[in-house]
Chain A
């Protein structure tokens, strides 16, 4: 099963709609509620990152009987130092993002904690690709 969602950079009103849709889909598929929570929390953090930092993005989701794979591709400024960005507390978020209750440098670590596999590749001035996998039946 495959799904695709568009994420608009800077649009905090719509931030979380992809995560919300995925939550409904996973519930319909009777996925373990603990897994659903891990998946949607990680995707929501990733979605907020695109809204907060990028110009636009696409979320591609593939669901199989073994795993849920999510790939987020954005057009944006990219991440110059991914290791630094992964450190808890490091953030380049704007004051607008902080007013929304984010931007404390916790998103990427939280995505790592909730996913089974997290891969981030980025090109400065072009964009970032985030890939997350969640294994089912563990």
Chain B
């Protein structure tokens, strides 16, 4: 799935890294627990999370994740956006719950990591 389709489907807003909109993503993982995210071995995944702080971006950096969607109306702070830009990530904000966003992506063909 192209990220552009993900953003349209979830009625979401890109707040950083718009140039990634045409990149493809096949797998997704949803969690608020960064320790869980750090156990994922697969690269190039889309992370759905309701945790919006600097450690979300740091965790993504260490896990080779460059695509993040913040669900439940969580917003990225300027510090998060700056760190995301340094690591060439795309940050997306979505008003839907984690369950709704995950369900819609799953229906659209996004694959789970496990």
Contact = CB atoms under 8 A, between A and B. Distances in A.
A59 interface: no
Contacts, number: 69
A117 to B, nearest CB: 19
Contacts of A19: 58, 62
Contact of B39 (A16, A20, A33, A106): A106
B9 to A, nearest CB: 26
A19 B55 CA distance: 12
A35 to B, nearest CB: 12
Given A13-B54, A37-B64, A101 B39 contact: no
Given A44-B38, A102-B34, A15 B64 contact: no
A100 interface: yes
Interface of A: 12-13, 15-16, 19-20, 23, 33, 37, 40-41, 44-45, 48, 99-104, 106-107, 110, 113
